[in-house]
Structure 1
Amino acid sequence: MADNKLELITSIFSFCATWFSAASMQGITGTFYAYGYNTILYSILPWFIGAVLLILLASRLKDYDIITIPEFFYLRYESKVLQAMAGMLIVIAYTLYIIIQVRGFGIVISELLDISYTFARILVYLFIIYTTFGGLFSVSKVHRLCFVLTVAGIFIATAIVLKNVGGITIIYEKATLINTKPFPNFPYVTKQRGLLDPFAKGQMPPVITFTSFFGWGLGLATNPQYATYIISAKDKKTATKMIYYSKFLLVLMYFGLMIIGIGSRVLEPTIKSISSVDEVFPYMINNVIYSPFSGLILIGITAAAVSTANSQLLLAASGFSYDIYKNIINKNISEEKLLNLNRIFIFIISTISLILSINPPDSLLIYGGYIWGLFSSTFLVPLYGGLFWKKASKVGAIVSFFLGLITYIIFIVIKLNFFFHPAFPGTVASALAFYFVNKHSYKREGVNCAN
């Protein structure tokens, strides 16, 4: 945790660099290309609402002397089991999420260097292992460079798109006329004015759009990768400022991605040589609007993937070594052995993610929302409930965690995600369990006191 001493500037760089992953650089841009304005309601707006909740989290979480979020569950609820289960969930979730970064990096580097996707994945695998071995101090230094490269890539690409199209006004005038498929295997033909319709003329129905908040928005609000920078900031004031200033920078960056995505659709209404939204941004930069800056822009895209992957890899390894191994198996392990165990597990997790990325998800953005939904269905209520509800009990937290997880898995398995986001029933089940179990506990305590 970098001794919980990260300064404001370092915290902002790390927070923004971790936030801006391949799901943003490639997923958001490609989704703007395919669905238009709906992307704001589906993911960007939920993210920023979730960031408001992070400010509330910062106001209380810094009062606890913790290294990981699962450790909070132990200190607050006196439950090693809950800490270990939360650590295991972090290991699983981030192992799956790192696939996004590996895929994003692989797509871009294969374009940049004209090499195979398989070999490109190995490059990011080696890089994230190397940078993560040094812990949060190492990762935070990498984030400074990565974030600068990402910002440069976005704004240079935005300027090039605007120059090629002729300005923002022309982008939106021509976007209303688009009525093609974005790429051959896309399931829908974009209807005229569909890119500017909040629900993409029926392609993204309101229920799916708004319930995505339970995945992306509430998932972000309780996601350990953001809470980590709250914990590692030197004080509560620094943590709060970090979130405020980061949100301002991120708004500008997403505005740039919106121009790039919709502007690319105006320049190339259908891209016949790609098969997913995640390939749009690299293809456009390397083929349609190629310039002397194309290499720098592509490197900026890869920087977004690397900066998120190494922080998630560090958290996943800590989830095992600190929240499971030290918590349950060997609580007297020395600091040096614990760090070495962390490095071994970093290698294991990154290798598993590399193997799983052989068959990557079709859409980084949709897939990422499902992973974040795991956190909103399990961590959200016990975390915020424990911070803001003094009478929240251990039993209530455990039941809430497990019922939310089980409900989420059930709705993933039965594939009702075509109607609403599976994090919606998962989060609701978790919240109801937390409330009613705690309420029942109050009644029993009252009876025992009376007796």
Structure 2
Amino acid sequence: MAIKLTMLIIFFGIFIMVGYMCRKSSKSVNGFVLGGRNVGPWLTAFAYGTSYFSAVIFVGYAGQFGWSFGIASTWIGLGNAFIGSLLAWSILGRRTRVMTQHLGSKTMPEFFGQRFKSKNLKIAASAITFIFLIPYTASLFNGLSRLFKMAFNVEYSYCVIVMAVLTAIYVIVGGYMATAVNDFIQGLIMLVGIVAVILAVLGQNGGLMGSIAALSNIPSETSNVNGVFASFLGPEPMYLLIVVLLTSLGTWGLPQMVGKFYAITNEEAIKKGTVISTIFAIVVAGGCYFLGGFGRLFNTQAQVDIEGFDSIVPSMLSGLPDILIAIVLILVLSASMSTLSSLVLASSSTLTLDFIGGLRKKEATEKSNMNLLRVFVAIFIVISAIIAIVQATSKVTFIAQLMGISWGALSGAFLAPFLYGLYWKKVTKAGVTTGFIFGIVTMIIQLLISLKILTVSGPILETIFKNSLYSGVFAMLASLIIVPIVSLLTGKTTPDGVDEMFDCYGQTVRVHARTSLTDEEE
């Protein structure tokens, strides 16, 4: 217990100190929200990775999908690395950084408002962001409850309150830069922690080969193939593909993820950040899902039926030495607090600058915006913590289902409009509006079906709305088709000045060059 408490105190103390040291960089809105657009490749790459991988993935998804797919769940982590990190940085990184600086936009809703010259789009995007980021943030706390109960026998609500208060302190004091520096520290902890935990867990069943051999003897409820949980694609390859797409491609439309590209310092930093972020994702995401794939060696079907998927990973870790359990706690806290701080900044900034700013008749002063930003950071954290505590104690079905659809709703609404907004001059306001509506309506239908308020019939609809993963992927992929079709049919709603906006990608720069004499000329 002394080891665990000491490590936690050191952990929290470092983050508060970082927030205090970064206070000078958060005196302006640009500094508070984007770190002055001067954040290097290592900080940005780790901020991206730690915002991506939270307790939801380590405890929830790794346990659930590891149980469903066995070691084939590792493909989810690799998809996160190569689609969610490598491709995202390569396709979105430079264009996002250049276009947002050219337009002067600090958030994704502000980008929509300026790129398409529509105040209504900005307000709508900010409302969508705020509404669906809150349940997503609340879900972060849920992954911590079982781990803290296992290690400390601490009441879940106390853990939520402490984590919320500490995150609020360093975000309010230090803004984006404090978040980025802490994300780097948290990322290092995650890298070391996940490797140590994998080695320790596999060691309990005779190492890697012994664990695979034991896993191959477990029968599947959905497949008659022997040893399917130790196979290349697992018992449900199609479902595995759906999970890979939602958790990987989905990041392209999440405001808190894309926002990292706004702040990076220059083009060279983007190239380095791409490599760093991909390697980080391979180790952390690949490691989490690989570890989860062995969950059936430590749990029975009866345990999972009673306690749920969130109990799988804690059960795997319960037999580890105290020092490793302490490392796991710090690892999960790191993952959760980094993602929480990123979500808080994304939501508070869009509510302050885009929603309230869009409704104001007069432009607010810098000081007024800064005060409001800090107030909404606190409000957002308080609301998320209350929702998490209510959900954990009362098991409110609506909240649980809303958490499940939040990722799909955000990505379904924003991915296609944002991607086409960066690359295609002919995308229109009507096309973007249709994309927003389609993504949100699709996921609201899924919510109503999950709550058993609505039913659908027919093989196609039943497949699309099988669960929030299927409908989330459908919303994203269908929107990629719908937005350009509607844009081609509604050319009159194309905003003015698009050519000038896209000139920022190919500006010609003239430089003086010295004449160099060749051997022949000499």
Note the residue ranges of structure 1 that are not aligned, 5 or more in a row. 182-187, 446-451
- Cα–Cα, structure 1 residues 296 and 408, in superposed 2: closer, same or farther, change >3 Å? closer
**Matched ranges for 1:214-225 at <5 A:** 215-225=246-256
**Matched ranges for 1:303-342 at <5 A:** 303-329=334-360, 331-342=362-373
- Cα–Cα, structure 1 residues 421 and 122, in superposed 2: closer, same or farther, change >3 Å? same
Comparing 310-319 with 296-305, greater Cα deviation is found at: 296-305
- 3-state SS of 1:421 partner: helix
Tell me whether 1:145 sits opposite 2:176 in the alignment: no
In 1, the alpha carbon distance for the partners of 2:479 and 2:38 equals 34
- Cα–Cα, structure 1 residues 34 and 428, in superposed 2: closer, same or farther, change >3 Å? closer
Deviation at 1:4, TM superposition (A): 0.3
Deviation at 1:154, TM superposition (A): 1.1
Tell me whether 1:436 sits opposite 2:485 in the alignment: yes
In 1, the alpha carbon distance for the partners of 2:324 and 2:493 equals 68
Residue 280 of structure 1 corresponds to 312
Contact 1:50 1:218 in 2 (8 A): yes
Residue 166 of structure 1 corresponds to 206
Contact 2:78 2:286 in 1 (8 A): no
Deviation at 1:391, TM superposition (A): 1.5
Contact 1:214 1:421 in 2 (8 A): no
Residue 52 of structure 2 corresponds to 19
In 1, the alpha carbon distance for the partners of 2:266 and 2:433 equals 30
In 2, the alpha carbon distance for the partners of 1:391 and 1:289 equals 57
Contact 1:29 1:258 in 2 (8 A): yes
- Cα–Cα, structure 1 residues 190 and 120, in superposed 2: closer, same or farther, change >3 Å? farther
Deviation at 1:194, TM superposition (A): 3.6
- Cα–Cα, structure 1 residues 156 and 330, in superposed 2: closer, same or farther, change >3 Å? farther
- Cα–Cα, structure 1 residues 40 and 160, in superposed 2: closer, same or farther, change >3 Å? closer
- 3-state SS of 2:98 partner: coil
CA RMSD of aligned residues (A): 3.0
In 1, the alpha carbon distance for the partners of 2:67 and 2:402 equals 16
Contact 1:132 1:311 in 2 (8 A): no
In 2, the alpha carbon distance for the partners of 1:403 and 1:381 equals 11
**Matched ranges for 1:21-420 at <5 A:** 21-31=54-64, 33-35=66-68, 36-41=70-75, 45=79, 48-51=82-85, 52-64=87-99, 65=101, 66-133=105-172, 134-179=174-219, 193-197=227-231, 200-201=234-235, 204=236, 206=238, 208-213=239-244, 215-267=246-298, 272=303, 275-285=307-317, 287-329=318-360, 331-357=362-388, 358-360=390-392, 370-415=405-450, 416=462, 417-418=465-466
- Cα–Cα, structure 1 residues 198 and 180, in superposed 2: closer, same or farther, change >3 Å? closer
Contact 2:299 2:312 in 1 (8 A): no
In 1, the alpha carbon distance for the partners of 2:266 and 2:80 equals 27
In 2, the alpha carbon distance for the partners of 1:291 and 1:180 equals 33
State the TM-score, normalizing by the size of structure 2.
0.75
In 2, the alpha carbon distance for the partners of 1:7 and 1:427 equals 31
Deviation at 1:333, TM superposition (A): 0.9
In 2, the alpha carbon distance for the partners of 1:365 and 1:411 equals 13
The one-letter code sitting in structure 2 at the alignment partner of 1:427 is: M
Identity %: 22
Contact 1:32 1:261 in 2 (8 A): yes
The one-letter code sitting in structure 1 at the alignment partner of 2:430 is: V
Comparing 121-130 with 305-314, greater Cα deviation is found at: 121-130
- 3-state SS of 2:323 partner: coil
Contact 2:252 2:415 in 1 (8 A): yes
Deviation at 1:17, TM superposition (A): 1.5
Contact 1:161 1:264 in 2 (8 A): no
In 1, the alpha carbon distance for the partners of 2:154 and 2:193 equals 21
The one-letter code sitting in structure 2 at the alignment partner of 1:55 is: S
In 2, the alpha carbon distance for the partners of 1:156 and 1:366 equals 34
Q: Tell me the number of residue pairs that the alignment of Structure 1 and Structure 2 aligns.
A: 434
Deviation at 1:404, TM superposition (A): 2.8
In 2, the alpha carbon distance for the partners of 1:177 and 1:350 equals 45
Comparing 260-269 with 337-346, greater Cα deviation is found at: 260-269
State the TM-score, normalizing by the size of structure 1.
0.86
In 2, the alpha carbon distance for the partners of 1:387 and 1:63 equals 10
In 1, the alpha carbon distance for the partners of 2:400 and 2:283 equals 19
